[in-house]
Amino acid sequence: MNTPLPETGVSRETPEPSEAPVSRETESTGPVVVTAPVSPFGPHPAPGTAPYRTAGDVAAGALLTDDDSTPLARSVEHALLVREGRRLSEPLPRPARTRVMVVANQKGGVGKTTSAVNMAAALAQHGLRVLVIDLDPQGNASTALGVDHHRGTPSTYDAIVDELALTEIVQPSGEVENLWVVPATIDLAGAEIELVSLVARESRLRKAIHAHPLVFGEGEDRFDYVLVDCPPSLGLLTLNALVAGDEMLIPIQAEYYALEGLGQLLETVEMVKKHLNPELTVSTILLTMYDARTRLSAGVADEVREHFGDQVLRTAIPRSVRISEAPSYGQTVMTYDPGSSGALSYLEAAREMAVKLAGEGSEGNGR
């Protein structure tokens, strides 16, 4: 068919539309209809179009390989399972008791809040029950997890200053099953001053956490992890978190100034261990914003691993535009783009951390 081009009057050949889908024969499956390719990470298909593969299809296909847990198979399975609203098929071991982890680094811009919310979401997608406590007045963790945190919403301020029970404050995350949030509001900005005159000011958060019936409980519905996202400072709010926690997760940016200020944080940790919380340990260090193309990132990673050894996770979180975009949509990267390199890295980091910590005693995850 000849079609005149606009204004020129010149014609060009355009192919006639195909009357039927092209078919090809395969030995194993018989005729296969070749249709327009559909990305497993794109929007849902319209009614009547070819459906996406189910997570079961992906899992069945993975079993045909020599290694049924290859990164590629896991990445596709993860994306499809998130789309279907289901948790990952491979459960992680439950810790023997609730682990209260403080996510802290006084240096800003190192991916602290980003790591807190994405590690929490990754653990929850593996079937573990996770509570995130937002202790940063900016409320970025609350935003990323899609919970209400406008002024007047019950928040960590009410728990710390007014001793309101956490059961009255906790909200479920709308994006991820098995994930709950204690939000932060702007009121928390004044808590540093108000705490100065209060009795036992450094242990208010610990008291609130231990009073929650699903923390350190014995039932199947207890929390497996409590992650506390701290402000980028070493004030009374961070001190409350250090007194409340059993262990610390420290995100470190893979850049030149990564270790600046870390010494002061570790000195504070030692002081807290000596006087307020002898059980506190630095159990996990996570490298963030890693750029494999540069020698600088590799050099920083080597230096951090030399200083901290097995505390440093083998998995590093790469620089990723998708990780940065996700909070603006009220999501973690785990649901915003589950097939992205950032989501898969957090998924692997959470798996590595949970398995490593389970060495201290765990029970089968039957959920």
Q: Are residues 187 and 327 in the same domain?
A: yes
Which of 343, 351, 336, 334 minimizes the C-alpha distance to 179?
A: 334
Domain boundary, last residue among 42, 64, 86:
86
pLDDT at 64: 41
Out of 21, 55, 86, pick the residue that ends a domain: 86
Query: Following CA atoms 27, 33, 35, 39 in sequence, which dihedral angle do they give, to the nearest 10 degrees?
Result: -50
139-164: average pLDDT:
93
Are 337 and 205 in a shared domain? yes
How much is the pLDDT for 77?
Answer: 57
In angstroms, the Cα distances linking 183 to 10, 140, 210, 323, 360 are 65, 9, 18, 21, 30
Per-residue pLDDT tens over the stretch 284-337: 999 999 998 889 999 989 989 998 999 999 999 999 999 999 988 989 999 999
> In the predicted model, is pLDDT for residue 170 greater than 80?
yes
Q: Is residue 144 part of a domain?
A: yes
Answer whether residue 346 shows pLDDT above 80.
yes
Flag whether 2 is in a domain.
no
Distance CA 121, CA 336 (A): 11
> Does 73 share its domain with 139?
no
Decide if 14 is inside a domain: no
Q: Are residues 104 and 164 in the same domain?
A: yes
* Predicted local confidence at residue 345, as pLDDT: 94
Q: Taking all residues of the chain, what is their mean pLDDT, rounded to a whole number?
A: 79
User: Which of 49-58, 122-131, 225-234 comes out lowest in average pLDDT?
Assistant: 49-58
Q: pTM of the prediction?
A: 0.75
Whether residue 115 sits in one domain with residue 60: no
pLDDT value for 119: 97
The single-letter DSSP state of residue 170 is: -
Are residues 199 and 61 part of one domain?
no
205 and 337 housed in the same domain: yes
207 within a domain of the structure (yes/no): yes
Using 50, 70 and 90 to split pLDDT, how confident is the model at 361? low
CB 78 within 8 Å of CB 347: yes
| Residues 218 and 297 grouped into a single domain | yes
What value does the CA radius of gyration of the chain take, rounded to a whole number of Å?
Answer: 24
Sorted by sequence, the CB contacts under 8 Å of residue 125 that are 6+ apart come out as 78, 81, 82, 87, 88, 176, 177, 178, 334, 347
Same domain, 142 and 64: no
Shared-domain flag, residues 113 and 77 = no
CA 148 – CA 153 distance, rounded (Å): 7
pLDDT tens readout for residues 58-99: 334 433 444 444 445 555 555 555 555 555 556 788 998 999
Q: Which helix (H) or strand (E) holds 179?
A: strand 179-182
- Nearest-10 Cα torsion for 77, 325, 137, 265: 70
Mean pLDDT computed over 144-170: 94
Mean pLDDT, range 42-53, rounded to an integer:
37
Residues 266 and 129 in one domain: yes
pLDDT of residue 106: 80
Domain with 328 in it: what CATH number?
3.40.50.300
Q: Which range of residues forms the domain containing residue 127? A: 94-363
For residue 287, the model assigns a pLDDT of 93
**Which pLDDT value is given to residue 261?**
73
Domain total in the chain: 2
Considering the domain boundaries, does residue 244 fall inside one? yes
On whether both 311 and 254 belong to a single domain, the answer is yes
pLDDT over threshold 60, residue 213: yes
Q: Which of 65, 86, 107 is the last residue of a domain?
A: 86
Nearest to 189 by CA among 227, 226, 151, 163: 151
DSSP string covering 205-242: HHHHHHHSTTSS-SSTTS-SEEEEE--SS-SHHHHHHH
Contact 94, 363 (CB under 8 A): yes
The pLDDT of residue 51 is 35
- The whole-angstrom separation of Cα 188 and Cα 208 is 16
